[in-house]
Amino acid sequence: MEVLWAPWRMTYIARDREQGCLFCSKLKRRDDRGNLILCRSSHSFVILNRFPYTSGHLMVVPNRHVASIDELNEGEMVALMALLKQSIIILKRALKPDGFNVGMNIGSVAGAGIEDHIHFHIVPRWNGDTNFMPVLVETKVMPEYLEKTYDRLISFVEGP
């Protein structure tokens, strides 16, 4: 039997659960790199998923704490879509994926891990990026450390 060591997963398993909303908490802090925030706008922000499905897994989040897309006003919706578009452009330039999965899970029954603050997931995909590992041994192989991915993406972010 082969053993694949992934010690960074213990951070996820053993972490202290933050009280309150994870997104609201990160948005209040000013350490964008430490919090993996790539971009902020007046109504929304882009953050790397700390426990990604694949390298470059981003989330686009409204600044205002809302649990459903129908709670967003027009300005928030436009800003969210603009950052979604900008994020895909940046990922294309920086990581050159072959495609994307883009989606939003609303409510725990739909798979939302953070159900009280909506957010879009953008997951870059490459031809051949799935293999036997997730199916046979429930293990995902990440090709790059999270901080390295952050550094690659931040160099493509325009503006403050």
Q: Are 44 and 80 in contact (CB under 8 A)?
A: yes
* Domain membership flag for residue 44: yes
Can you tell me the mean pLDDT for 81-87?
A: 96
Per-residue pLDDT band for 155 (boundaries 50, 70, 90) equals: confident
Burial class (CB in 10 A: 0-12, 13-18, 19+), 24: middle
Domain of 94? Answer: 15-154
Question: Any catalytic annotation for residue 119?
Answer: yes
Could you give the number of structural domains in the chain? 1
Both tokens of 157, joined, read: 């972010």
In the predicted model, is pLDDT for residue 132 greater than 50? no
Q: What is the CATH number of the domain that holds 66?
A: 3.30.428.10
Q: Are 128 and 12 in contact (CB under 8 A)?
A: no
Catalytic residue among 43, 57, 117, 119: 119
* Domain membership flag for residue 159: no
* Domain membership flag for residue 8: no
The C-alpha atoms of residue 76 and residue 53 are separated, in whole angstroms, by: 27
Per-residue model confidence as pLDDT tens digits over 35-72: 999 999 999 999 999 888 788 999 999 999 999 999 99
Per-residue model confidence as pLDDT tens digits over 92-124: 999 999 999 999 988 888 887 888 999 999 999
